[in-house]
């Protein structure tokens, strides 16, 4: 019974809604989506919100595949779901069977007995021993895709050297066990050591993953700081360019005003030739004074313009130096950003490999735990079967020896006088 239960557990996966208040899709839709992982042997949905699993909207389902590999494919696909996968669109997830709760009770009391009954009906319908049934079904797939009743039991059937099928009863021969070395489990000490080693590797993988995550966070913070410095440099560069353009506009305005002032002198000299009399003399006098005033104004404006131009040129040179410095800082920041991106990609690859190693180690650890449970169950069965037989054999031997000694006239071995 324990072997059959372990067999079916290895081929069972539980589908539940991601939202505790959600529901799973209809059976036909869910079957068609899960069929890509392997052939489904049994499907049953439940509504854990309703007492006694009454007819309500189901939020969980038990799926039993023919092959054990289909369970691994389904679990891996659920863990690494994509945006287009039905796990995301249907809002469901796959996980191993929970070993508690009403769903597990229904699995033990309803689903497993039903599957065993179907396997027994198939074996009896063929009217052949389980060994020949396995040989026929072995052509259809690997050894992990058949029901447990199709595999020969060591206590019921054995294969003689000439190929005939014989009943082994309670005295199973050692030679038969030696012909099937795959049924002999490894020692418990080796299994415990292996489990300890796998747990140590899992702890190391988790530590490496945590370290890579911390390094990833540090690099992300450095990258954000570099981005802020780059934005500040760009803002300073824009401010310097704005100041430079304003200085050029001011220089153009001063140049235009100077040209307008210089054009006043020839206009006045041309107008004095057309006047006469007293007004002409006055105008001539004013015209003689005007060039001097214009010259004074032009010299004053020239000095002021030169001073303004000199100050603007100084500011322009300073702005150009600032721009060059900011350009060099931006180039340095770009180089640092590139190196940080390379380091970040390297850490992401390390993190991904650590996660893959963690998943593979965890799957291997679960497989070894299941194997250890099977080995312990097998050892318990052997003890329950062999120890009573040994005691009965020793009792019969003791009685025979006592009768023999009594017949010889000797006291029994347990008599104190014999000492």
Q: Residue 54: what are its φ and ψ, rounded to 5°?
A: -75, 170
Q: Are residues 93 and 202 in the same domain?
A: no
Whether the CB-CB separation of 389 and 205 falls below 8 Å is answered with no
Structural domain total, the chain: 2
Q: Is residue 404 part of a domain?
A: no
Give the count of beta carbons closer than 10 Å to the beta carbon of residue 228: 10
Q: Which residues contact 224 (CB under 8 A, 6 or more apart)?
A: none
Q: Which residue, 104, 121, 138, sits at the end of a domain?
A: 121
Q: Within this chain, do residues 226 and 311 fall inside the same structural domain, yes or no?
A: yes
Query: How many Å apart are CA 20 and CA 381, to the nearest integer?
Result: 41
Check residue 408 and give its pLDDT.
Answer: 84
Last residue of a domain, one of 121, 136, 152: 121
Give dist(CA 309, CA 147) in Å, integer. 98
Query: Is 412 a member of any domain?
Result: no
Residues 113 and 245 in one domain: no
> Which pLDDT belongs to residue 313?
80
60 within domain boundaries: yes
Return the ∠ at Cα 397 (arms to 396 and 403), rounded to 5°: 90
Residue stretches of the chain with pLDDT short of 70: 1-2, 50-56, 123-186, 265-294, 297-298, 301, 304-305, 308, 410-419
| In 10-129, alpha helices (H) | 27-34, 68-79, 86-90, 102-106, 112-126
0.85 exceeded by the pTM? Answer: no
Are 137 and 150 spatial neighbours (Cβ–Cβ below 8 Å)?
Answer: yes
In a domain, 408, yes or no: no
Among residues 86, 121, 156, which one ends one of the domains? 121
Distances (CA, A) of 356 to 87, 350, 362, 398: 20, 10, 10, 62
Instruction: Return the residue matching tokens 């000199």.
Output: 310
Is residue 145 within 8 A of residue 67, CB to CB? The reply is: yes
The DSSP letter of residue 289 is H
Domain extent for 263: 197-375
What is the CATH classification number for the domain harbouring 217? 1.10.287
Looking at the structure, tell me whether residues 100 and 245 fall in a common domain. no
Residues 342 and 250 in one domain: yes
Task: Say whether both 297 and 213 belong to one domain.
Answer: yes
- Residue 252 and residue 371 in one domain: yes
Is residue 238 a part of any domain in this protein?
A: yes
Backbone angles phi, psi at 58, to 5 degrees: -70, 145
Q: Is the domain of 224 the same as that of 340? A: yes
Q: Mark whether 364 and 227 lie in a shared domain.
A: yes
Query: CB–CB of 78/30 below 8 Å?
Result: no
Summarised one tens digit per residue, pLDDT across range 241-261 is 888 888 888 888 888 888 887
Judge if 213 and 69 occupy the same domain.
no
Is residue 103 in a domain? yes
What CATH number is attached to the domain comprising 95?
A: 3.30.70.330
Residues 113 and 8 grouped into a single domain: yes
Q: What is the pLDDT of residue 284?
A: 60
Q: 399 in a domain, yes or no?
A: no
Residues 238 and 339 in one domain: yes
Asked if residue 164 is part of any domain, the answer here is no
For residue 12, give the H/E element and its range: strand 12-17
Question: For residues 358 and 209, is the Cβ–Cβ distance under 8 A?
Answer: yes
């Amino acid at each position: 019974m324990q072997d059959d239960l372990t067999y079916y557990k290895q081929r069972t996966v539980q589908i539940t809604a991601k939202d505790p208040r959600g529901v799973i899709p209809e059976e036909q839709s869910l079957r068609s989506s899960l069929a890509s992982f392997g052939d489904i042997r049994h499907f049953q949905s439940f509504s854990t919100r309703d007492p006694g699993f009454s007819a309500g909207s189901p939020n969980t389902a038990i799926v039993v595949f023919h092959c054990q590999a289909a369970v691994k494919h389904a679990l891996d696909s659920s863990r690494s779901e994509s945006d287009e996968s039905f796990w995301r669109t249907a809002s469901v997830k796959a996980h191993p069977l929970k070993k508690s709760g009403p769903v597990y009770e229904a699995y033990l009391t309803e689903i497993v007995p039903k599957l065993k009954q179907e396997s027994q009906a198939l074996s009896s319908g063929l009217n052949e021993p389980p060994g020949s049934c396995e040989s026929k079904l072995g052509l259809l797939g690997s050894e992990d895709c058949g029901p447990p009743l199709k595999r020969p039991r060591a206590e019921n059937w054995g294969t003689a050297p000439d190929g005939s099928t014989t009943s082994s009863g309670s005295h199973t021969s050692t030679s038969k066990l030696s012909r099937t070395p795959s049924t002999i489990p490894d020692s418990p000490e080796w299994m415990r050591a292996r489990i300890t080693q796998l747990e140590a590797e899992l702890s190391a993988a988790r530590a490496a993953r945590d370290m890579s995550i911390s390094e990833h966070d540090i690099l992300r913070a450095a990258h954000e700081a570099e981005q802020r410095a780059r934005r500040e440099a760009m803002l300073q560069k824009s401010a310097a360019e704005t100041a430079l353009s304003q200085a050029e506009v001011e220089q153009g305005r001063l140049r235009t005003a100077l040209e307008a002032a210089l054009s006043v002198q020839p206009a006045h000299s041309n107008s004095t030739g057309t006047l006469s009399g007293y007004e002409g003399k006055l105008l001539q006098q004013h015209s003689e004074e005007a060039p001097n005033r214009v010259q004074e104004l032009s010299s004053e404006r020239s000095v002021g313009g030169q001073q303004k131009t000199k100050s603007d040129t100084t500011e322009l040179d300073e702005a150009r130096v600032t721009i060059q410095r900011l350009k060099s800082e931006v180039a340095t920041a770009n180089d640092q950003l590139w190196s940080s991106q390379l380091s970040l990609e390297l850490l992401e690859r390390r993190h991904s490999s650590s996660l893959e190693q963690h998943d593979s180690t965890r799957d291997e650890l679960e497989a070894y735990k299941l194997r250890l449970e099977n080995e312990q169950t097998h050892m318990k069965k052997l003890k329950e079967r062999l120890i009573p037989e040994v005691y009965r054999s020793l009792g019969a031997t003791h009685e025979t020896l006592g009768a023999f000694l009594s017949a010889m006239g000797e006291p029994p071995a347990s008599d104190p006088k014999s000492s």
